[in-house]
Amino acid sequence: METFSRPIATGFDLKLFWERSVCNAVAVGIIASRLRHTFPAEAFTAGLLQDIGSLFLAQYFPAEYSGVIGMARALNVHPAVAERESRASTTRR
């Protein structure tokens, strides 16, 4: 994880991000296998990458995404929900 050379958003837990991503991938892979899905490896990959946008935002827009993380914690919601709220309030102005 030290290989990320860009500054990352304050409050963004990179270790937790990857832990959740791997857990999602394993769970989706198991579900796909049990359902006899034809492409369990693709399901695993989709589970691994399903929240990759938050990593992008944390790295390429750290100041803005720090605000989203703070809002998510204050509202006790997932950052994606806080992000939608943030965008909605910006467009209402």
| Within a domain: 78 | yes
Q: Which residues contact 81 (CB under 8 A, 6 or more apart)?
A: 72, 75
Report the number of distinct structural domains present in the chain: 1
List pLDDT tens digits, range 26-69.
999 999 989 887 788 899 999 999 999 999 999 999 999 999 99
Kindly report which listed range (13-17, 31-35, 67-71, 85-89) carries the lowest average pLDDT score: 85-89
| Within a domain: 1 | no
Range of the domain at 19: 14-92
Q: Report the amino acid identity of residue 63.
A: A
Burial status of residue 81 (CB atoms within 10 A of its CB: 0-12, 13-18, 19 or more): middle
List pLDDT tens digits, range 19-28.
999 999 999 9
Q: Is 13 left (phi over 0), alpha (psi -120 to 50) or beta?
A: beta
| Within a domain: 23 | yes
| Within a domain: 43 | yes
| Within a domain: 19 | yes
